[in-house]
């Protein structure tokens, strides 16, 4: 049972980590509470589905187009909807909720409410310690690791990353230092949504695609990002591992309580927040004003 | 006679001087008079729902708008009220007229608890932690199906009144009472303290305000109102089910609140009264019925682009202006301030010339 | 503003119907954006067209045409929306009868509204016993509710056990295992509680060993952990009780893991044509209870399924029972000679109608009677992209149940 928990927990965490990186970036770094983040993930999944299954394109081409299209759409949405109301935090919040609802209803309109399946990019499975892991899950683990490294590299080793961090730290000073803060924000949005889109292309094949698929991961992602601490890549990774393992342990310890795994994960988040209100690796903004 | 004249004077001096207050009075009277002139079961049902959700939205505003604790899990309190009242009337056979108060009471308790857990959390952390609460509650309810009814909820609840008109009056009167009460509270000294906490908690604390206590009280009060709405709702549709705890409902109330304009109380109420019948009305058309949520979202988005502070502050700015000297509000068409006599328009124009148009 | 809007809406809705006199108005209430609602509507449309073409319904000597009212309840997303829709079709559109409903929580609320107006409401989607218990406990108020499909949850147990015995028999024969191991994988829901309890009690008596009960959420998107545990327990049969999208996930992930165990039980998603695609072609050997197939459950079954498939390009789900419901209503109205609800209730309580899914007779809860020759349902298995019926074996047209290669 121990080896089952170890392997399953890791496999689960891979999915969550991949979903959480982009979220952590836009949420922690650009300080935009983007409820529509997982809606972009859903759009990428649908786009990938349409190109792959209906359009008959190959995996690589369909995936690339889906990521590019969704990223372009996010920039458009940012310019048209978010930027004009950027000053009003509440308005940004509801604008992203409205965007998510619009995407959901559009997909409902185009594809109907039925569940769709995306073929796996990699078929087959491997046995580790007597536990079978489909290759697609391994792919997710690899892509998640790549994405985490890439984001870390981007934030800490490039000029754009420096600009993003500076803007996140103090928008006004960054502006005064001659940075085009609007463009930096746009770049952040684009990068973060691109990550969501990659997640949609890689993760969606293990799940079921439907117009409401953005809600469940949204809640889990929020839990992970908050648990790990807003804006901390390391935090998101650890958060994903914790949630992944908590869920696995719940299922193995109380089989008849498997439905509780979501609630238990959220409970863990709340408990962590009670002990450390800024999350595990978040920066404590002491009385931020 | 004296009382009548006194009442009229109050009305003339306090209500009719401001177009926004006149509008609110007209709206309240219209609500009360409606069933007398237009006794249609379907319209009354929609308006009953609207009234119940209006209480819910207003209660969210007290918490999120005034103290800035943007609650993403407000459905927790709505569901707590609905389940408590439903369970009590169903299992104990108590009259729903009593259990709705119990529902509000339990919601208050849960609000107190949630507020206590959230005391150290700020901003987005608070929003996201609160988002988790109703989902945890949902998990617990599913764990005790023989008690909570699982995914079915508790059904066949007794109702508060029998005819559509009676039900409508129950909801409308409850709504007017609760919303007016919340507005009075928010407009009082208490409300000013809440504003202070939201704008600068450190400064508020430095001024000797016990901010945690205020936050707890607001959490509890807001939960009480939401729980009351939930209890009324459960007895109206006669089912208290898991849908009262869903994320969708929590998001819905955030949309109403921000669309109407936060920290106003009347804003979210106005938003519900516009958006809820509107979506229902769209739903009645064959061609667009299944697109109603899409149209709803697009309307919300467009309105926000033009009125980022919400609908009612925008409307209020159009029909009322602030006196530059004494900061009291006046109808825009007045030339002189109704209280201090300062000139309104010329002053504003000159002030704008001086500081540049903003 | 508000009132004029509502008034305008009233006019907009009322205008087209004011002209249609002498019709019987049947409201089809369902989640129209979803497969369930689509099937409600499709089944009803077929019944309407066939009946109207043949002259309509004979009400005491007067031929009346059927007029359908399409009401999107949006019940998947909002319970209040569902009750509003019912109120609208009754008071605005003046519907005489209601057919449909799917999500139990919403149907319970819709039932209340329909009973307030004493309108006959024929259920075609929700399986919960509670709907029928209402009728038994308060006949005067709830007698206008009848459930046409599916059979109530308790009866589903009987069918599943009967099929389970067949499946276990095959495992004993093919694998030489005297006591096949059964893992119960049931979503966390009230309707499965009774079945899970009954299985734990009865399966050992049927010479099967229960190795554990796993209960994921009905909307779980991932059952990796559950399946690992089931594999570890060495189960031969995964007894599924799933109505939500988790059914697809189970089918797909079992296929992806190359699991040797066979999935049988109730898997509502696996009843849909789109299941194979939704599970990305991985769900081979998944089997479930179902309602319609190219088999002769009654003389009407094959004709109905063929006509449905040629008209809509897909096979019907049990929600297309709205078709049977309308024909049932026609027969009742013609027998009673009136559309008066109270008189129809009396007729419906005694009716025996041969529908496409089975013979419909109602018990005292107004649930369809279960049993061979009445309504039992069938069992199907997915075999290489096709849904193949294999139970009850005595019915003409049934095929062979297959096992994964060992």
Taking the domains of chain C in order of start, what are their residue ranges? Answer: 20-150+298-360, 154-290+377-391
What percent of chain B is modeled with pLDDT above 90?
44
| pLDDT given at position C105 | 86
Quick check: B178 contacting A, CB < 8 Å?
no
User: How large is the average pLDDT for residues A268-275?
Assistant: 85
Higher pLDDT: A211 or A122? It is A211
The verdict on a CB contact (< 8 Å) between C10 and B40 is: yes
Alpha-carbon distances of B304 from A7, A85, A86, A96, A252, rounded to whole Å: 47, 8, 11, 11, 47
Contact A147/A195 with Cβ under 8 angstroms?
A: yes
Distance CA C402, CA C382 (A): 9
| pLDDT given at position B345 | 64
H/E stretch holding C30? strand C23-30
Distance CA A16, CA C293 (A): 41
Closest to C153 (Cα-Cα) out of C4, C316, C368, C319: C368
Quick check: A121 contacting C, CB < 8 Å?
no
Comparing A66-75, B210-219, C11-20, the range with the smallest average pLDDT is C11-20
Of A208, A217, A259, the CB nearest to C248: A208
User: C-alpha angle A42/A202/C186, rounded to 5°?
Assistant: 75
Judge whether residue A4 has pLDDT over 90: no
| pLDDT given at position B357 | 43
Structure tokens at A209: 């695609």
User: How large is the average pLDDT for residues C99-107?
Assistant: 91
Distance CA A280, CA C132 (A): 51
Please tell me the pTM assigned to this model: 0.89
The CATH H-level superfamily of C154-290+377-391 is Response regulator (3.40.50.2300)
User: How large is the average pLDDT for residues B8-33?
Assistant: 86
Residue B216: pLDDT band with limits 50, 70, 90: very high
The verdict on a CB contact (< 8 Å) between B136 and A226 is: no
Quick check: C232 contacting A, CB < 8 Å?
yes
| pLDDT given at position B329 | 80
Higher pLDDT: B355 or B297? It is B297
Closest to C351 (Cα-Cα) out of C337, C371, C366, C339: C366
Alpha-carbon distances of A167 from A22, A122, A143, A149, A162, rounded to whole Å: 18, 40, 28, 21, 9
Distance CA B104, CA B77 (A): 9
Distance CA C5, CA B344 (A): 37
Comparing A17-21, A279-283, B177-181, C139-143, the range with the smallest average pLDDT is A279-283
Identify the three-state secondary structure at position C218: coil
What percent of chain A is modeled with pLDDT above 70?
96
* Mean pLDDT score across all residues of chain A: 85
Taking contacts as CB-CB distances below 8 angstroms, the residues of chain B near C87 are 41-42, 45
Residue C406: pLDDT band with limits 50, 70, 90: low
Question: Where do you find CATH 1.10.3470 in chain B?
Answer: 40-320
Select from 1.25.40, 1.10.3470, 2.60.120, 1.10.1740 the CATH code of A2-275: 1.10.3470
Q: What is the 3-state secondary structure (H, E, C) of B64-105?
A: HHHHCCCCCCCHHHHHHHHHHHHHHHHHCCCCHHHHHHHHHH
Distance CA A248, CA A12 (A): 8
Judge whether residue A109 has pLDDT over 50: yes
CA A240 to the chain's CA centroid = 11
**Closest CA in chain C for residue B146:** C190
User: How large is the average pLDDT for residues C329-340?
Assistant: 93
Select from 3.40.50.2300, 3.40.640.10, 3.90.650.10, 3.40.50.1370 the CATH code of C20-150+298-360: 3.40.50.2300
Distance CA A226, CA A245 (A): 17
| pLDDT given at position B350 | 52
Distance CA A217, CA C219 (A): 12
Beta strand spans in C338-392 (E): 353-354, 359-360, 378-383, 386-391
Higher pLDDT: A85 or B112? It is B112
Judge whether residue A287 has pLDDT over 50: no
Comparing A114-118, A253-257, C219-223, the range with the smallest average pLDDT is A253-257
Quick check: C91 contacting B, CB < 8 Å?
yes
CB atoms within 10 A of CB C137: 11
Same fold, C20-150+298-360 and C154-290+377-391: yes
Of B117, B251, B259, the CB nearest to A270: B117
Residue B52: pLDDT band with limits 50, 70, 90: very high
Give the pLDDT confidence of C21-57 residue by residue, as tens digits: 589 999 999 998 888 999 999 999 999 999 999 999 9
Distance CA A250, CA A5 (A): 10
| pLDDT given at position C5 | 47
Domain boundaries, chain A: 2-275
φ, ψ at C335 (rounded to 5°): -70, -45
φ, ψ at B264 (rounded to 5°): -130, -25
Residue A16: pLDDT band with limits 50, 70, 90: confident
| pLDDT given at position B351 | 52
| pLDDT given at position B358 | 39
b/e code C195-223 from CB counts within 10 Å (16+ = b): bbeebeeebeeeebbbbbbbbbbbbbbbb
Judge whether residue A284 has pLDDT over 70: no
Residues 21-80 of C with CB under 8 A from B: 32-33, 70, 72, 74, 77-80
Contact C266/C241 with Cβ under 8 angstroms?
A: yes
For B40-320, CATH number? 1.10.3470
Residue C12: pLDDT band with limits 50, 70, 90: very low
ipTM for the whole complex: 0.84
* Mean pLDDT score across all residues of chain B: 88
Structure tokens at B273: 């009264």
**Closest CA in chain A for residue B301:** A95
Structure tokens at C155: 């009866």
DSSP string computed for C279-313 = TTT--TT-EEEES--SS-SSTTHHHHHHHHHHHHS
The verdict on a CB contact (< 8 Å) between C12 and B151 is: no
What angle do the packed helices B211-237 and B189-199 form, to 10 degrees?
Answer: 110
Alpha-carbon distances of C221 from A15, A35, A101, A205, rounded to whole Å: 12, 20, 20, 11
Contact C95/C118 with Cβ under 8 angstroms?
A: no
Of C77, C80, C88, the CB nearest to B42: C88
Judge whether residue C4 has pLDDT over 60: no
Q: What is the 3-state secondary structure (H, E, C) of B136-181?
A: HHHHHHHHCHHHHCHHHCEECCCCCCCCHHHHHHHHHHHHHHHHHH
| pLDDT given at position B354 | 53
| pLDDT given at position B222 | 96
The verdict on a CB contact (< 8 Å) between B143 and A87 is: no
CA dihedral B45, B49, B50, B51 (to 10 degrees): 100
Distance CA C93, CA C87 (A): 9
């Amino acid at each position: 049972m121990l080896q089952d928990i170890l392997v399953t927990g890791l496999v689960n965490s891979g999915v969550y980590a991949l979903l959480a990186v982009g979220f952590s970036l836009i949420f922690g770094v650009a300080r935009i509470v983007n409820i529509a983040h997982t809606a972009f993930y859903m759009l990428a999944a649908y786009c990938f589905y349409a190109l792959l299954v209906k359009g008959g394109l190959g995996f690589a081409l369909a995936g690339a187009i889906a990521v590019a299209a969704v990223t372009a759409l996010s920039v458009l949405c940012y310019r048209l909807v978010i930027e004009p109301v950027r000053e009003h935090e509440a308005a940004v919040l509801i604008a992203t909720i409205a965007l998510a609802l619009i995407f959901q209803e559009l997909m409902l309109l185009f594809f109907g409410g039925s569940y769709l399946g995306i073929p796996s990019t990699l078929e087959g499975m491997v046995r580790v310690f007597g536990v079978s892991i489909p290759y697609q899950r391994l792919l997710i683990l690899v892509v998640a690791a790549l994405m985490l490294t890439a984001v870390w590299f981007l934030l800490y080793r490039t000029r754009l990353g420096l600009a993003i961090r500076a803007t996140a730290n103090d928008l006004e000073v960054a502006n005064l230092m001659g940075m085009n803060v609007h463009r930096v924000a746009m770049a952040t949005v684009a990068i973060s949504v691109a990550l969501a889109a990659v997640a949609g292309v890689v993760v969606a094949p293990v799940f079921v695609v439907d117009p409401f698929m953005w809600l469940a991961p949204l809640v889990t992602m929020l839990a992970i990002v908050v648990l790990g601490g807003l804006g901390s890549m390391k935090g998101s990774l650890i958060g994903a591992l914790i949630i992944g393992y908590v869920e696995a342990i719940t299922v193995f310890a109380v089989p008849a309580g498997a439905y509780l795994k979501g609630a238990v994960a959220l409970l863990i988040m709340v408990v962590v927040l009670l002990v450390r209100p800024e999350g595990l690796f978040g920066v404590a903004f002491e009385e931020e004003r | 006679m004296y009382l009548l004249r006194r009442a009229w004077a109050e009305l003339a001096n306090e209500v009719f001087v401001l177009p926004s207050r006149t509008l609110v009075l007209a709206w309240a009277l219209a609500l009360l008079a409606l069933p007398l002139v237009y006794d249609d079961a379907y319209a009354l049902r929609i308006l009953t729902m609207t009234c119940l959700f209006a209480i819910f939205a207003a209660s969210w505003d007290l918490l999120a708008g005034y103290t800035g604790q943007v609650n993403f899990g407000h459905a927790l309190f709505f569901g707590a009220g609905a389940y408590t009242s439903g369970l009590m009337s169903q299992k104990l056979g108590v009259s729903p007229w009593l259990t709705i108060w119990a529902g509000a009471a339990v919601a208050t308790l849960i609000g107190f608890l949630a507020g206590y857990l959230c005391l150290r959390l700020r901003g987005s952390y608070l929003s996201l932690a609160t988002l988790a609460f109703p989902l945890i509650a949902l998990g617990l309810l599913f764990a005790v199906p023989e008690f909570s009814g699982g995914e079915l909820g508790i059904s066949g609840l007794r109702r508060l009144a029998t005819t559509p008109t009676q039900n409508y009056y129950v909801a409308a009167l409850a709504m007017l009472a609760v919303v007016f009460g919340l507005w009075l509270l928010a407009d009082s000294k208490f409300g000013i303290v809440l504003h202070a906490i939201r704008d600068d908690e450190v400064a508020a604390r430095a001024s000797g305000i016990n901010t945690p206590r205020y936050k707890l009280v607001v959490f509890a009060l807001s939960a009480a109102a939401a729980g009351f709405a939930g209890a009324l709702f459960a007895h109206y549709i006669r089912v208290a089910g898991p849908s009262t705890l869903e994320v969708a409902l929590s998001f819905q109330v955030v949309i109403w609140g921000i669309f109407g304009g936060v920290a106003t109380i009347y804003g979210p109420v106005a938003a519900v009264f516009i958006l809820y019948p509107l979506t229902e009305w769209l739903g009645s058309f064959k061609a667009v019925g299944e697109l109603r949520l899409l149209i709803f979202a697009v309307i919300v988005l467009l309105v926000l682009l033009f009125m980022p502070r919400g609908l009612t502050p925008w409307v209020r700015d159009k029909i009322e202006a602030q006196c530059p000297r004494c900061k009291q509000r006046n109808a825009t068409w007045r030339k002189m301030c109704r209280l201090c006599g300062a000139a309104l328009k010329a002053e504003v124009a000159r002030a704008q010339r001086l500081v540049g148009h903003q | 503003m508000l009132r004029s809007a509502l008034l305008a809406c009233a006019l907009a809705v009322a205008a087209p119907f004011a002209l249609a006199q002498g019709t019987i108005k049947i409201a089809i209430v369902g989640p129209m954006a979803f497969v369930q609602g689509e099937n409600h509507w499709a089944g009803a449309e077929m019944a309407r067209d066939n009946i109207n073409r043949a002259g309509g319904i004979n009400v005491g000597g007067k031929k009346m045409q059927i007029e359908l009212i399409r009401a999107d309840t949006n019940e998947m997303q909002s319970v209040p929306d569902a009750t509003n829709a019912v109120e609208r079709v009754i008071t605005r559109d003046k519907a005489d009868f209601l057919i449909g409903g799917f999500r139990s929580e919403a149907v319970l609320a819709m039932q209340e509204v329909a009973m307030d107006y004493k309108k006959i409401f024929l259920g075609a989607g929700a399986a919960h016993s509670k709907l029928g218990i209402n009728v038994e406990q308060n006949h005067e108020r709830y007698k206008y509710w009848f459930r046409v499909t599916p059979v109530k949850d308790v009866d589903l147990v009987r069918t599943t056990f009967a099929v389970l015995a067949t499946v276990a028999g095959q495992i004993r024969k093919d694998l030489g295992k005297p006591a096949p191991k059964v893992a119960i994988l049931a979503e966390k829901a009230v309707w499965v509680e009774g079945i899970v309890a009954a299985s734990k009690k009865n399966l050992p008596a049927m010479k099967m060993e229960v190795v554990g009960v796993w209960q994921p959420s009905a909307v779980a998107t991932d059952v990796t952990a559950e399946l690992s545990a089931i594999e570890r327990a060495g189960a031969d049969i995964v007894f599924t009780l799933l109505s939500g999208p988790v059914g697809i996930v189970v089918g797909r992930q079992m296929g992806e893991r190359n699991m040797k165990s066979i999935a049988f039980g109730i898997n509502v998603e696996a009843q849909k044509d789109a299941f194979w695609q939704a599970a990305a072609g991985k769900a081979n050997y998944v089997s479930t209870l179902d309602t319609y197939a190219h088999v002769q459950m009654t003389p009407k079954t094959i004709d109905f399924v063929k006509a449905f498939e040629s008209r809509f390009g897909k096979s019907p789900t049990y929600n297309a029972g709205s078709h049977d419901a309308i024909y049932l209503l026609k027969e009742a109205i013609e027998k009673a000679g009136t559309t008066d609800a109270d008189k129809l209730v009396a007729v419906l309580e005694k009716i025996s109608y041969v529908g496409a899914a089975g013979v419909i007779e109602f018990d005292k809860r107004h649930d369809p009677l279960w049993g061979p020759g009445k309504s039992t349902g069938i069992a199907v298995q997915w075999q290489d992209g096709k849904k193949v019926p294999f139970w009850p074996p005595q019915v003409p047209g049934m095929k062979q149940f297959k096992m994964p290669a060992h």
